[in-house]
Amino acid sequence: MSQEIWQFQNDITYLTLPTWEEKGARIIFTSRHTGHSQGAYMSLNMALHVGDYPEAVLANRKKVLQLMGTDLSHMVCCQQVHSNQVAVVDSSYAGRGSQHYEDALPSTDGLVTATPGLVLATFYADCIPVFLFDPVRKVAALCHSGWKGTMGLITTKTLEVMSSQFNCQPADIMVYIGPGISSCCFEIQADLADKVLSAFAADDDIIISKQKRIRWDLKETIRRCVINFGVPESQIIVSSWCTSCHTDYFYSFRKEQGITGRMAALIILAGGKSNEEP
């Protein structure tokens, strides 16, 4: 299966998956370039909750949504609290969190929809974005998997919701584990490593101990959860990009010591509002 590619369109540089677009889901993962934000948020900061000027964030969001042929009124955001809670959303949620963080879905880190034209959105600076798509049932999902969400099996929970609510079959589902902090940079303390090893006992190679540094391969941990659910390995794409290694393209919470912007992960099902399931 082909991999993520960079595209430059309407003055925006982003990662996307042409193979998914052919099957009916467009995805975008933004870079940090060519936006309106200044200082530490330079320049395409997509998140309202990080201390940037809201006017700049909204201008950035509008610019990216325009590229997708849509606008803020079709965007749905969740508050991203490192939980494993997943919400099913339809057109009645359109616009939630798009202009104000306060009305984003509370206590939620995963979004699932079967509504064409609705833009699911989550935001990142090192945590791992997981994009999910069932081209048979026409269902799209996104979840935010930092280390806490990964420990809470947020990706497995999202797959369970796709399965229970929309009858998605694991054999049909496609998964893109997007850019985030990779095993080269995600150093953790010994006490957390112990917890990881007891939670994922069959996968002890996800923890790498070398020269007194302990590192955790979050993307590989998520990939194994997806395989364990039954998704064929050939339908899983893992991003080669580490956000901490590449602050020239991405924001990195760790590398930039907390004060920085966020990239957006966005997914939209093709087809327009008229095709919505009752």
| Residues ≥6 apart with Cβ < 8 Å to 123 | 46, 47, 77, 80, 144, 262, 263, 264, 265
Burial group, residue 153, by CB count within 10 angstroms (0-12, 13-18, 19+): buried
For residue 179, the minimal CB distance to Zn ion (Å) is 11
Cβ closest to Zn ion, residue 215 vs residue 223: 215
For residue 252, the minimal CB distance to Zn ion (Å) is 9
Q: Which of 30, 50, 31, 49 is nearest to 40 (CA)?
A: 50
Cβ closest to Zn ion, residue 50 vs residue 242: 242
Cβ closest to Zn ion, residue 31 vs residue 113: 31
Cβ closest to Zn ion, residue 4 vs residue 109: 4
For residue 182, the minimal CB distance to Zn ion (Å) is 5
CA gap 131, 144 in Å, rounded? 9
Q: State the residues that interact with Zn ion by CB under 5 A.
A: 182, 184-185, 242, 244-245
218-229 helix and 154-166 helix, angle to the nearest 10 degrees: 30
For residue 34, the minimal CB distance to Zn ion (Å) is 24
